[in-house]
Amino acid sequence: MNDNTQDQDYYLMWKTRGPIRRLISPLEGLISDAAWGGVLLMISTIGALYLANSHWAEAYHEILSAPVDVGLGNSHLVLDVHHFINDALMAIFFFVVGLEIKREILVGELSSVREAVLPAVAALGGMIFPAAIFLLINLHSTAGQEGWGVPMATDIAFSLGILSLLGSRVPLAAKVFLTAFAIVDDIGASMVIAFFYTEDIVWPMVGLASLFFVCLALCNAFGVRRSAPYVFLSLALWFCFLKSGIHPTIAGILAALTIPARPRLQSDEFLISTRMLLDRIEARHEEETSVLKDKQSHAMISDVETASRLTQTPLKRFENALHLWITFFIMPVFALANAGIELNGNLGEKLSHPVTIGVIVGLLVGKQLGITLLAWGAVKMGLARLPRGVSWGMLYGLSWLGGIGFTMSLFITNLAYGRMSEHRDDAKLGILIASAIAGIGGCAIVWWCLPSEKTEENEEHDSTNAGRNSPEHA
**Burial class, 279, CB count within 10 angstroms (exposed 0-12 / middle 13-18 / buried 19+):** exposed
**The predicted structure's pLDDT at residue 22:** 47
37-52 pLDDT tens trace: 778 888 999 999 999 9
CA pair distance 283, 399, nearest whole angstrom: 59
Query: By the 8 A CB rule, do 265 and 241 touch?
Result: no
Percent of the chain with pLDDT over 70: 76
pLDDT, position 196: 86
| Spatial separation of the C-alpha atoms in residues 99 and 315, rounded to whole Å | 7
* Closest to 269 in 3D by CA, of 308, 227, 317: 308
> Which positions ≥6 away from 111 have C-beta within 8 Å?
104, 105
Q: Return the pLDDT at 421.
A: 65
Residue 145 CA, chain-centre distance (Å), reads: 27
What's the pLDDT score for residue 400?
96
Q: Which pLDDT value is given to residue 468?
A: 43
88-103 pLDDT per residue, tens: 999 999 999 899 889 8
| Residue 147: DSSP 8-state | G
Q: Measured between alpha carbons, how far is 318 from 248 in angstroms, rounded to an integer?
A: 19
The helix (run of H) or strand (run of E) holding residue 77 is strand 75-80
Q: Quote the pLDDT of residue 473.
A: 37
Tell whether the torsion through CA atoms of 109, 114, 119 and 124 is positive or negative: positive
Q: Which amino acid is at 468?
A: R
Domains of the chain: 36-199+328-473 (1.20.1530.10), 267-308 (no CATH)
Residue ranges in the chain whose pLDDT is less than 70: 1-35, 70-76, 265-270, 279, 281-298, 300-301, 303-307, 309-310, 345, 419-421, 452-474
C-alpha distance from residue 22 to each of 26, 27, 236 (Å):
8, 10, 41
Residue 152 is given by DSSP the state G
Alpha helix stretches (DSSP H) within 245-294: 249-257, 267-286
- Nearest C-alpha neighbor of 33 from the set 407, 322, 324, 318: 324
The pLDDT assigned to 114 comes to: 78
